[in-house]
Structure 1
Amino acid sequence: MDLSSEAISPDVADTAPLTRREIADLASEVPDWSIEGGRLCARFACKEFCDAVKFLREVAVFSARENHLPDIGIHEGRFVYVAWYTYAIGGLSRNDFIMAARLSGWLRSRQGADL
C-alpha cells in the first residue's frame, strides 16, 4: 500500500516513537525528505516572500485537515521549511511519514504551479 494512502492514526499518545530501523525503512518512501535533529524535514524554495507566505498557508490548511500539524516557517525570505514530529510521543510516528508522503504527492499534483 502506498504510504500516502494510509489512514492517519487519530491517537498515538500511547505508542512508542519509531525505532531507527523503522525510520530508515520509511525514509526510503519519502525521498524528498531528510531526518534532521530527529525530525522529518524538507525545504521548499519559493520565488519571493509573498509566495512563501501563500505556500505556508496552503501547507497549514492541508495539514489541519488531518489534524496532524508540522512545524513550519519561512527562512531567508523565500524558503519554507516543514518538519514533522509527533510531540505526544517525543519522536517520529508513522503519521509523520504519511503526512510527508501526502504533502509530496500534493505538490507533485500541483507541478507547474509556482512556488
Structure 2
Amino acid sequence: MIVRTLKECIQSERRVVSENWESVRMLLKDDNMGFSFHITTIYQDTETHIHYKNHLESVYCVSGSGEIEVVGGKTYPIEPGTLYILDQHDEHYLRAYPGQNMVMACVFNPPLNGQEVHDASGVYPLS
C-alpha cells in the first residue's frame, strides 16, 4: 500500500512549478500503477498552451473557474465539479479566470516520471 499526503508531496521534489501553474505529482511512473495522479493549480489570469501528443489526461476541477479552448474547436467553461477528458490528444488552451486559481485533480496515462514540463509545442516528453 502507498500512502502519501498532499502536504508531504508539496514539500518534496514532487512539486513542479512553472510560470502559469504548479503540479504536485502524488503518484508517478515508478509507483507502478499504470497512471500518474497530480493536484495541479492553474494560476489566475493565465493562459497555457497544451498538446499532450504522448499522453491521455482526465482533469477534474476542484475549485476556481476558467475555460478550455480546443484548437480549431469549441470553448468549454470550467468550474468546480467539471470533468474534461483529453481522449484524442486534443491541442488546447487552458485559461484560469482572474480572481482565483483553479485547482485540478489530474490523471495521466501513460504515467509521468515526475519533473516533466511542457515544451514549446505544449507537449510532455514520452519517457
Higher relative contact order (CA 8 A, sep 6+): 1
TM-score per shorter chain, which class? 0.3 to 0.5
Structure number with the higher helix fraction is: 1
Task: State the TM-score, normalizing by the size of structure 2.
Answer: 0.31
Task: State the TM-score, normalizing by the size of structure 1.
Answer: 0.34
